[in-house]
Structure 1
Amino acid sequence: MTLSFAPDRIETWPLAKLQSYARNAKAHGADQVAKIAASMAEFGWTVPCLVAEDGELIAGHGRVLAAAQLGLATAPVIVMPHLSDAQRRAYRIADNKLTELGAWDEAMLLQEVQELLAEEYDLDLLGFSEADLEHLLRDSAAQDGTGAVEGEDETPEPPITPVTLPGDLWVMGKHRLICGDSTSAEVVGKLLGDVKPLLMVTDPPYGVDYDPSWRNQAGAAKTRRTGKVLNDDRADWREAW
């Protein structure tokens, strides 16, 4: 069996001459195109586009979109005149599907990623999402015992003789920190001294009258938490401040 050596036929065409296939079944989202563009900027245009004689793309739709994003004017192409119309349509599908059939060797992938990370290489150029990379590295850390296991926080043992006691006040430049009950007017007064606060940013579990039902009324995504928090608005806490 003899196969033609396609790289011998690489040509350079104006980007404007390339035509997208109207029935291309492989969608290219903005995030994917951005990743392809970043890869091309880093590694160069490593894979030529495959085209019919009239310039209609057979393979390389994503690369053409990325090239336009990068402001390129030309593209390397290989003309495939020997393919019939049916073969061109079949190859467009096969070219995308065949790459999906392989599975990752997770251990080998992790080793490569960790070595690149140690070299401070930009992992965004690998094409993985940030969530996928975090999942890969987190699972590895959990398995070898070097990372925290999700859901199992380490709680240190309290000291026999506490260092910090209620009423202790630290002054750190313009900042003041007190150990005490934030609902106590006496504690708050000791903390503030003669200063009158202009803004308080807090998220206490009291006095919020929590009722998320407005989200559904506003047309936002529905939530299972549609009930109110019981006894959550029993007192007026403003006097404490």
Structure 2
Amino acid sequence: MFKTSEIKAYKNNPRNNDDAVGPVAESIKQFGFKVPIIIDKNNVIVAGHTRLKAAVKLKLAEVPCIVADDLTEEQIKAFRLADNKVSEFATWDFELLDIELDNIACINMSDFGFLNVDILDDELEKQMEYLTQDTKTKKFIVKLTFTTEDEANECKDKLMSLGYENVDIA
């Protein structure tokens, strides 16, 4: 365990993570600090800037850390970037995600950025009923705002599964 006050953010961290601090803090609050921060021999963060910000927000005095003292300076720089970048290659299987979310009853998953799919389904059905009443000669533009790209893509996929075409994300 390391004191949060002794851990230093990497000054050239190119990742903008302020929007993720709240959900990460909520995750730590509900489940505990399960993923250690990775630091170098000088206590500078290699991976885990958001976790440190969340720990500070929660006023945690200490957090678990792994010291990456087996890496060269160049490897540390590369790992800092790779650790964040590789997660961008993962995608969601929305059918399996819906099943998993349906099986979580007592935890508010919107705290972690997940939409309440049942509410989304109900709202979309209401909108679809309205829009399909007389759309043969009319075109409608519906603007929705989401906090994450995943939410926008989830809504787009839902609309397309209902038969709507030309669903764009801007």
TM-score (norm 2): 0.69
Aligned partners of 1:52, 1:137: CA distance in 2, in Å? Answer: 44
Aligned partners of 1:122, 1:139: CA distance in 2, in Å? Answer: 15
Q: Matches of residues 151-170 of structure 1 in structure 2 within 5 Å?
A: 151-153=128-130
Q: Which residue of 102, 109, 132 corresponds with 1:123?
A: 109
Aligned partners of 1:51, 1:138: CA distance in 2, in Å? Answer: 41
Q: Is the 8 A contact 2:25 2:57 kept in 1?
A: yes
Aligned partners of 1:113, 1:43: CA distance in 2, in Å? Answer: 17
Aligned: 1:25 with 2:11 = no
Q: In structure 2, do the counterparts of structure 1 residues 80 and 104 end up closer, same or farther at CA, with 3 Å as the change threshold? A: same
Gaps of 5+ in 1: 1-11, 155-241
Q: Is the 8 A contact 2:2 2:65 kept in 1?
A: yes
Q: Which residue of 27, 32, 36 corresponds with 1:48?
A: 36
Aligned: 1:39 with 2:27 = yes
Aligned partners of 1:77, 1:140: CA distance in 2, in Å? Answer: 41
Q: Secondary structure at the match of 1:32?
A: helix
With a CA cutoff of 8 Å and minimum separation of 6, indicate the structure with the bigger relative contact order. Answer: 2
Q: Matches of residues 133-152 of structure 1 in structure 2 within 5 Å?
A: 133-134=115-116, 136-137=117-118, 148-152=125-129
Using the aligned pairs only, state the percent identity. Answer: 28
Query: What corresponds to 1:57 in structure 2?
Result: 45
Q: Secondary structure at the match of 1:16?
A: helix
Deviation at 1:121, TM superposition (A): 2.3
Gaps of 5+ in 2: 132-170
Deviation at 1:138, TM superposition (A): 5.7
Deviation at 1:50, TM superposition (A): 0.6
Q: Is the 8 A contact 1:110 1:137 kept in 2?
A: no
Deviation at 1:49, TM superposition (A): 0.7
Q: Of Structure 1 and Structure 2, which has the larger fraction of its residues in helix? A: 2
Residues 8-44 of structure 1 deviation map (CA, whole Å, 9 limit, x = unaligned): xxxx111111110011111112x42111111100000
Aligned partners of 2:127, 2:98: CA distance in 1, in Å? Answer: 20
List structure 1 segments (4+ residues) > 3 angstroms apart after TM superposition: 136-142
Query: What corresponds to 1:110 in structure 2?
Result: 98
TM-score (norm 1): 0.50
Aligned: 1:72 with 2:49 = no
Deviation at 1:137, TM superposition (A): 3.9
Q: How many residue pairs were aligned?
A: 131
Q: Secondary structure at the match of 1:103?
A: coil
Residues 79-128 of structure 1 deviation map (CA, whole Å, 9 limit, x = unaligned): 11111111111111111111111110100001111222xx2421234x21
Residues 128-155 of structure 1 deviation map (CA, whole Å, 9 limit, x = unaligned): 15xxx14x4466569xxxx72524239x
Q: Is the 8 A contact 2:23 2:113 kept in 1?
A: no
Q: Which residue of 87, 96, 102 corresponds with 2:84?
A: 96
Residues 167-192 of structure 1 deviation map (CA, whole Å, 9 limit, x = unaligned): xxxxxxxxxxxxxxxxxxxxxxxxxx
